[in-house]
Amino acid sequence: MQNQPNRNLRKYLIIFSGLIILVLCSLFVWNFYHTGTIIILTNSSKNSITLTRINANNVGGASSVIKSNGQLSATVGLGRYDATVNNRHSSSSKLIVLGSHKTLRYSLNLNNLLNTQPVLNAQAQDIAVSSNHLVYLNTYTDEINEINSANNLSIINTSYPLQTVKWANANFGVGENSQQNLYIINNGSVSLLNLPRSSSKITTYDVSSNMQIYVVIGKKIYIGDQNGNFKKLYTTTSLNMIIGGSVNKAAVAYDSNSSDSNGSNVMLCIVNSSGQVVKTNIGEDVSSLVWSSNGQYLASVSESSIRVFNSSLKLLALIPTSIPADYLSWLNNNNFVYENSNQIWSYNLSSSRADLLTKLPLDNIASGLAVSNDGSYIYSATDDSINNTNSAILKIGLKGQQAPTIAYQLEDMLPMTLTDCSISLINFSQTPTILIQPSSLSNGLSQNYYIQEAESEIQQLGFSIKQLNFVVGPAN
């Protein structure tokens, strides 16, 4: 009988040991099926690699971060991750979705940055471009300016000072003045747009690629055309909305809670011309909504990320950003470019990869972004936060294009004020051009006089005038 306690003790120890083994096996199995391995390779041992877990509901919140140089291998829990590779000159990032126990291996090789090319020194925003001309809102004069294929500058409107312009293309747009009136800009002519009657003022507007016009008045959204034929499309519960127009449908972001909810109740919905609605709660304030040209994809820009949805509002991509992206434009139906923190990036939906394309000049921030019809150039309006004379429109060649050497040299010297005129560089197309703008105080002088004055100054700077064209433009 004395061995009975020992036998009971051994039995309890066996049971306890079995339970421990069972728990350990369970933990091993759970860990096996709920973790995976991510391996990141890059083309230099000096490149730093950062792997950050993304919380789709709190992109800017605290997240687990793993860092390494040259190569990174990490076993992590299932979820979304942002892999970023950096060096002093370039950067690239990729969205990684680890959905099951597996090993994912990626190569993130950094590319050389693209050069910016001068187009024009101007205080500009809201630009649009075609193969033969570029239009922009001159924020100094509140007028729309145009540069044609011969590098000639002209003023489209002088009677309607505008604050913003949204373009369907470089020939058609809608502008707003300080009194919240809208104007149609159509092939160089500007006319008042007749809006739906309401006691409320317009709060926002947009125009689609097929020239459909969307306006928000109070809590109501209208769809119409340049002739003022509008119909109500949708009514929200909020007076504050962001709208993005596409062909026969619009995306709208608004806070469904009238009280301050810090974006937690922000609804994103898509409404088509028949009134059908798809909604989702994205839980973050939205600053802009931009459709791809085919209307299949929607980019939503918020304070800490860019999200891409399909037309059913299924989340396809999530790109963390350090500060809100200022401007976004689609290159095609798979790629878009955006400006963030003085940098211009491209994003590829198929590869879930973002690449740094170029850095804007120091102290410059983007005030407009557009893409050429053939996707070969990006145009960026930049505003110098310190010196307005350095505000400019730049272009970035995506296929290795370079401007003539003289254009880069003159970029550092112009604009310049002479006795009777000012001179600046236009490099939109063909031969770089010296734009001559007579002083408002110089009356009765011939165009030849201004051209000779400009040619003389360019020669004194050490340049051959044979490499340039000279045109007399509007007076300053």
Q: What pLDDT does residue 57 have?
A: 59
- Whether residue 90 is contained in a domain is answered as yes
- Whether residue 371 is contained in a domain is answered as no
Three-class DSSP category at 12:
helix
CA atoms within 13 A on the CB side of 10: 5
Amino acid in the structure at residue 364: N
CB–CB of 440/476 below 8 Å? yes
- Whether residue 48 is contained in a domain is answered as yes
Q: What pLDDT does residue 358 have?
A: 94
- Whether residue 257 is contained in a domain is answered as no
- Whether residue 397 is contained in a domain is answered as no
- Whether residue 2 is contained in a domain is answered as yes
The residues that bridge with 279 in the sheet, in sequence order, are 269
Q: What pLDDT does residue 346 have?
A: 96
Q: What pLDDT does residue 306 have?
A: 94
CB–CB of 363/386 below 8 Å? yes
The Cα 298–Cα 245 span in angstroms is 10
List per-residue pLDDT tens for the chain, 476 residues long: 456 666 666 777 777 777 777 776 666 665 666 789 999 999 999 999 999 998 765 555 546 899 999 999 999 999 999 999 999 899 999 999 998 889 999 999 999 999 999 999 999 999 999 989 999 999 999 999 999 999 999 999 778 899 999 999 999 999 999 999 999 999 999 999 999 987 778 889 999 999 999 999 999 999 999 999 999 999 988 888 999 999 999 999 998 775 554 556 889 999 998 888 998 888 788 999 999 999 999 999 988 899 999 999 999 999 988 777 889 999 999 999 999 888 999 999 999 999 999 998 766 778 899 999 889 999 999 887 666 667 899 999 999 899 999 999 999 899 999 999 999 999 998 899 999 999 877 777 899 999 999 999 999 999 999 999 999 998 87
Task: Specify the pTM.
Answer: 0.88
Q: What pLDDT does residue 323 have?
A: 77
Q: What pLDDT does residue 258 have?
A: 54
Q: What pLDDT does residue 198 have?
A: 79
Q: What pLDDT does residue 62 have?
A: 47
The Cα 420–Cα 398 span in angstroms is 39
Q: What pLDDT does residue 281 have?
A: 85
| CATH number where 29 lies | 2.60.40.2190
Task: Find the distance separating the first CA and the last CA of the chain, reported in whole Å.
Answer: 114
The residues that bridge with 441 in the sheet, in sequence order, are none
- The residue among 55, 78, 110 that closes a domain is 110
Amino acid in the structure at residue 389: T
- The residue among 89, 110, 131 that closes a domain is 110
- Whether residue 268 is contained in a domain is answered as no
Amino acid in the structure at residue 198: S
The Cα 365–Cα 389 span in angstroms is 14
Number of domains in the chain: 2
- The residue among 86, 110, 134 that closes a domain is 110
Tokens standing for 404? 């003539």
CB–CB of 337/359 below 8 Å? no
Q: What pLDDT does residue 384 have?
A: 75
CB–CB of 390/383 below 8 Å? no
DSSP labels for 385-435? Answer: SS-GGG-EEEEEETTS----HHHHHHHTT-SEE-SSEEEEEE-SSSS-EEE
Residues 6+ away with beta carbon under 8 Å from 249: 270, 271, 272, 273, 295, 311
**Residue 97, domain extent:** 1-110
Helix (H) or strand (E) holding 469: strand 469-472
Q: What pLDDT does residue 29 have?
A: 62
The residues that bridge with 116 in the sheet, in sequence order, are 396
- Whether residue 125 is contained in a domain is answered as no
